[in-house]
Amino acid sequence: AHLQTYAQRAEKHANPAAKALLETIERKSSNLCVSVDVTKKADFLRIIDIVGPYVCLVKTHVDIIEDFDSSLIDRLKELSAKHDFLIFEDRKFADIGNTVALQYSSGVHKIASWSHITNAHPVPGPGIVTGLASVGTPLGRGLLLLAEMSTKGNLATGTYTADAVRMARAHRDFVIGFIAMHRMDGIGAQAGEAVEDEDFLILTPGVGLDVKGDSMGQQYRTPREVVLESGCDVIIVGRGIYGKGSDAEVREQAERYRREGWVAYEGRVSPRS
């Protein structure tokens, strides 16, 4: 699937969130997702208004915002319409199905009511997908499973990763892809199992052009390594963009990562040599 264009893949996708994301990527020539990990509502909204034109997706951690209220969600939705991007709350659900269904639908944040895409750790087993799907499917939402992580020493490797892919395969209407560092095509498939027509989106954090990591285990790769060499579909960039001081600099970095991500994609779907 990764040698097809985003537009070709959008046509075939049945899940509304996956289809909308692929169409947005194509329309804006952007496979960039900005992760806006700041703690004040005003900063959060200001950064999103700056980077909005350059992104297909805005990733949030709404539980870190100190002055969170429902007006923030109203503003976020307005910005999503103004700049034409989708919203991904990076909640990383990890509990039993009944609990995650409540966490997804209810509480202060009511994530399912505004976030097109969210994600979950596969560690509790398939019940986590059933629980989240009970809330998200009627709303046309999509789920990503964390099949791999970007951090040094993480445990999401080998058979854990393969089992995450199998779990996704069993729920293809709601699980639209993975947080992962590489493509997952065919991983964990049984002999003779037909998996050629599956098209999981790979969204990849740990992307940076200027530094190799941080002091807490984060590891960065370039958009070229992620999209061209590893076949991932969306680059997720946080501090590399919002961490750059002035508004002008934030805009410049968003433009830079959009361009780098898109050039890497073009190199993948239409190689010159």
Binding-site residues from annotation: 37, 59, 150, 218, 238-239
Tell me if 218 contacts ligand UP6 by CB under 6 A.
yes
SS3 content of the chain, % helix, strand, coil (to 5): 45, 15, 40
The 8-class DSSP code of residue 221 comes to B
Whether residue 201 contacts residue 172, with contact meaning beta carbons closer than 8 Å, is answered with: no
Tell me if 179 contacts ligand UP6 by CB under 6 A.
yes
Q: Is 125 left (phi over 0), alpha (psi -120 to 50) or beta?
A: left
Tell me if 188 contacts ligand UP6 by CB under 6 A.
no
**Catalytic one among 19, 28, 90, 163?**
90
191: which 2 tokens? 């002999």
Q: Is 178 left (phi over 0), alpha (psi -120 to 50) or beta?
A: beta
Closest alpha carbon to 146 in 195, 196, 93:
93
Closer to ligand UP6 by Cβ: residue 8 or 256: 256
Residue type, 185: D
Closer to ligand UP6 by Cβ: residue 10 or 32: 32
Specify the DSSP element, H or E, that contains 156. Answer: none
Closer to ligand UP6 by Cβ: residue 61 or 166: 61
168, 203, 236, 264: which one contacts ligand UP6 (CB under 6 A)? 236
> Residue 131 Cβ, how far from ligand UP6 at the closest point, in Å?
21
Specify binding-site residues for substrate. 37, 59, 150, 218, 238-239
Residue 90 annotated as catalytic: yes
Whether residue 228 contacts residue 267, with contact meaning beta carbons closer than 8 Å, is answered with: yes
Tell me if 129 contacts ligand UP6 by CB under 6 A.
no
**Residues identified as active-site:** 90, 92, 95
Which spans of this chain sit near ligand UP6 (rule: CB under 6 A)? 35, 37, 61, 90, 149-151, 179, 205-206, 218, 236-240
